[in-house]
Amino acid sequence: MRCYWAGSDQSNNMKRLNHSQTFILMCGLCLLVSGCLFKSSRVQARHFILTPLPHGGNALAATSRTPVIDVGFVDMPSYLLRDAMVIRKSASEIEVLENAVWAERLDEGFRRVLQDNLSAASDHGHLSASGRSDGTVRLSVDVQQFDVDTQGQGTLLANWRLTEAGAAKPLKTGEAHLSHSGSAPQGNPQAVATTLSALIGEFSRQLAAVPRDAMESKP
């Protein structure tokens, strides 16, 4: 008569089961760590541009006495010369919005929109970089701050200089300290582009009458 020790078979089966469970668990952990099991979907970046003042009642009025303003260089701090938008969290901290991207360099967009706005204030129409005339004054802008905070408050701090064509001495210099209240940008990067565009519009209005007044006050 043969005798079987059932306990031994059950023990072997339990060991094999435990080994299998351990192997499956380890495989799952490896997949989880490598990102293969739960791979997060990549959020597609949104691209934005600055926009000029609308044509119509809110645009700058053109007069026959307004000289053409040719926007030259626009200098900006390095924290703004990045693809991603930034939000100011404090005087010493900014937040980078990786999924909200400028479609063009911010200094180039600033120059383009400022030129477009100021051209609307001249009866000469839009001026290209190579279309300067004797009545042209050259504008240079040095931007210190151009951003929006977490509450939607936009700030533009800049120094500017106007120079007549062919002249070494500036015709007029000045400073801009502008602010504009817009929508909070968290979850709404379009608000950043809208507020910054509005700031350039206010800057354009400030500058529009300067060359005419400066020319008229010349001896």
Q: Work out how many domains the chain is built from and give that number.
A: 2
Q: Are residues 92 and 160 located together in one domain of the fold?
A: yes
pLDDT tens readout for residues 169-203:
898 999 999 999 999 999 999 999 999 999 999 99
- Token digits of residue 20: 């299998």
* Sequence-separated (6 or more) residues with CB below 8 Å from residue 210: 162, 172, 174
Tell me the three state secondary structure of residue 134: coil
Q: What is the CATH number of the domain that holds 171?
A: 3.40.50.10610
Question: Same domain for 29 and 53?
Answer: no
Answer yes or no: do 31 and 78 share one domain.
no
Query: Are 2 and 79 contained in the same domain?
Result: no
The C-alpha atoms of residue 159 and residue 215 are separated, in whole angstroms, by 20
Structure tokens at 168: 């070494």
Short-list 141, 138, 151, CA closest to 211: 138
Locate 14 and state its tokens: 């339990």
- Are residues 33 and 77 located together in one domain of the fold? no
Left if phi > 0, otherwise alpha if psi is -120 to 50, otherwise beta: which for 183?
A: beta
- Which secondary-structure segment (H or E) carries 145? strand 136-149
Pairing of strands 153-164, 46-48: unpaired
% pLDDT > 70, the chain: 65
pLDDT of residue 167: 80
Looking at the structure, tell me whether residues 2 and 52 fall in a common domain.
no
Least confident of 18-22, 72-76, 126-130: 126-130
Same domain for 118 and 15:
no
Full residue range of the structural domain in which residue 68 is found: 46-216
pLDDT digit string, tens, across residues 2-13: 544 445 555 555
DSSP 171: S
- Mean pLDDT of the chain, nearest integer: 80
The Cα diameter of the chain in Å comes to: 131
Please indicate, yes or no, whether residues 72 and 133 belong to a single structural domain of this protein.
Answer: yes
d(CA 69, CA 17): 83
One domain, residues 81 and 104: yes
Q: State whether 53 and 22 are in the same domain.
A: no
Task: HSE, CB side, 13 Å, CA atoms: give it for residue 48.
Answer: 24
Q: Are residues 15 and 104 in the same domain?
A: no
| Contact by Cβ (8 Å): 121, 55 | no
Q: Do residues 36 and 122 both lie within one domain?
A: no
Q: What percent of the chain has pLDDT over 90?
A: 53
